[in-house]
Every structure is written in C-alpha cells, then in structure tokens.
Amino acid sequence: MIKVLVTGANGQLGQSFRYWASRFPKFEFTFSDLPELDLTNDLQLTHYFEKNTTDYVFNCAAYTEVDKAEEEIVLAHKLNELAVKKLCELAKKHRFRLVHFSTDYVFDGTNENPYKETHPHAPQSVYGVSKSKGEQAILNADIDAWIVRTSWLFSPYGKNFVKTIFSLLQNKTEINVVADQTGAPTYAIDLAKSVLEALAQRSFGKKTSVYHITNEGITTWHEFALKIKELINSDCEIKPVATEDYPTLAKRPKYSVLSIEKFKKEFKIKSRSWEWVLADCLKKIKSES
C-alpha cells in the first residue's frame, strides 16, 4: 500500500481526493486538517512524521483568501511559504514525496498565449507572491516533488465561484460579473483524479517536476456565470463589468490560462471541457442544497 497524507483535507481539493479515495485501492489515505495537524506548527509537523510512515504528502493546505492576504501578509506567507519550507525539510529527512498545489497567480497575466510551466514568475498580489515563494522553496530543496499549478478551481465543496453564482442566481434579479479576465476553470474532482491516475502510471523522478492541470477550454468570469445561468434555468440578469469597475484589494491577472500540453503528453490523460464538468458539479450542488 502507498501511504498518502492529504493536508488541508477540508478544503475543495482535499475533499475531492476524499471523493476518489475508495476507487484507488493502491493508495491508503490519511486526511488531516486543523486542528489535528497545523502546518504552521513546526513541532506538531515534526512529531507527526516521527510517528507516522508516509510515502506521499498531497499538500492541499493553503491560504487562499486572495483579498484578505493583502492585509494578512504574515499569515499568507506562514502557510503558503514557510510551512512548505518545513515540509521540504521533513521530506528530505523522512523520504516522502511531495505533491504541492500552486496557482496561476504566480504569473502577471499579461500573456496572450497559455502560460507554460517554465514561464518566469511575476506575481501581482500578496497571495501570488506567497505561492511563488512556496514553489521556490521546493525547487531549492532538491527533493522528489511535483508542483501542480491549477486555476479557477471549483467544486461542490467549500467556497468557490460556481457555488457563489449558483446562490446569487436564485436570490437576485440582477448581478454584475467581471468580463475582462480570462482563464481556464478547473473542476477539483477532475484535478484530484488526474493526479491519482498520473501517480498510478509511474513513480517520481529524482527531482522536482512542474505540471499545469486544468480542464479544457477558456472563458471569462462573465461567460462562466452565463453558463451556470443556462444550466440552472435562472431568470437573473448577469451584467458584464470591467475589472476597474469592480475594485478589489488584490490585483487579478487579466489572462491566466495555463498550458496543459506537458501533462497530457507525459501521461496521456484526457481532460474534459469545463462546460461538461460544470453540469456535473451543479448536479452535485443541487443534490446537497
């Protein structure tokens, strides 16, 4: 059995790995989150790995409040950078392999073509900087690891754009949604499955590899919202607005599509379209509401 620790188990991605756990019998999962395992507590982390044998750590824990990070800078860096550094130290000592999840926000959003894994970082927000530094900590550590970047994550779990819009469309007659930011939506359930299928195919190399995983297709937040409206037959009007008309504390990338060609080529894993998986996600949300 391959022993896997999933950190941040109560978040979108952590719950998505839980969704697949029983269908990948070669992996024996342990799901942890606060308070039983606090990644910002070095002593607690050290003690955990001294007592428990682990083959893989899927680090789904992250500070993801993009706007609050502009004010909670120390907290964002504690979880997105310093905790990752500690995991790297422990990975070397206890010889487990790390799968760490990162973000399109490490880029500046000025590209006009999908970002490849090797594109230089230029984060524009505290959140993006903290995630970028977490990636760099792994690259500097010289450990067996995967850095998996993704974007526009949604699922039936936790807080995300799809769940927010789903709720607004049923309670409002009119909403405004930004129409000039472009990205690739990612269904957390598909992301989790892709990672597990890739690991089932072959083991890590002796260095850190970086992959981009999203669903197929690109869209804007406004188009994304319109598709949700169509799928749930809402009468709510969705008005397009410009980024400058919807001010936020953190700067968002205007274009943050990630190229997924490397992952598809190496693992021959097909990616479903975001429209297709959105319908699946909404069915799950409806069944739970």
> pLDDT tens digit string along 156-200?
999 999 999 999 999 999 999 999 999 999 999 999 999 999 999
> pLDDT tens digit string along 107-157?
999 999 999 999 999 999 999 999 999 999 999 998 999 999 999 999 999
Q: What percent of the chain has pLDDT over 70?
A: 99
Listed residue (16, 111, 117, 120) closest to 58, CA to CA: 16
DSSP state of 109: S
Confidence grade of residue 268 (pLDDT, cut at 50, 70, 90): very high
Confidence grade of residue 281 (pLDDT, cut at 50, 70, 90): very high
Confidence grade of residue 99 (pLDDT, cut at 50, 70, 90): very high
What gap in Å lies between CA 3 and CA 17, rounded to an integer?
14
Joined together, the tokens standing for residue 46 give 């050290």
> What is the structure's pLDDT at 63?
97
Listed residue (100, 18, 31) closest to 59, CA to CA: 100
Asked whether the predicted pLDDT for residue 96 surpasses 80, the reply is: yes
> What is the structure's pLDDT at 240?
98
* Cα separation values, 181 from 41, 224, 254, Å: 37, 11, 4
Strand partners, 64: none
> pLDDT tens digit string along 29-76?
999 998 899 999 999 999 999 999 999 999 999 999 999 999 999 999
> What is the structure's pLDDT at 207?
86
> pLDDT tens digit string along 61-70?
999 999 999 9
CA dihedral 229, 234, 236, 241 (to 10 degrees): 0
pTM attached to this predicted model: 0.97
Q: Please state whether beta strands 219-220 and 186-187 pair in parallel, antiparallel, or not at all (unpaired).
A: unpaired
> What is the structure's pLDDT at 149?
98
- CATH T-level fold of 2-160+185-217+257-271: Rossmann fold (3.40.50)
What gap in Å lies between CA 147 and CA 94, rounded to an integer?
19
What is the average per-residue pLDDT within 237-245? 97
List the alpha helices (DSSP H) in 69-113. Answer: 73-77, 83-94
Domains in the chain: boundaries: 2-160+185-217+257-271
Catalytic residues: 127
What would you measure as the largest C-alpha separation in the chain, in angstroms? 57
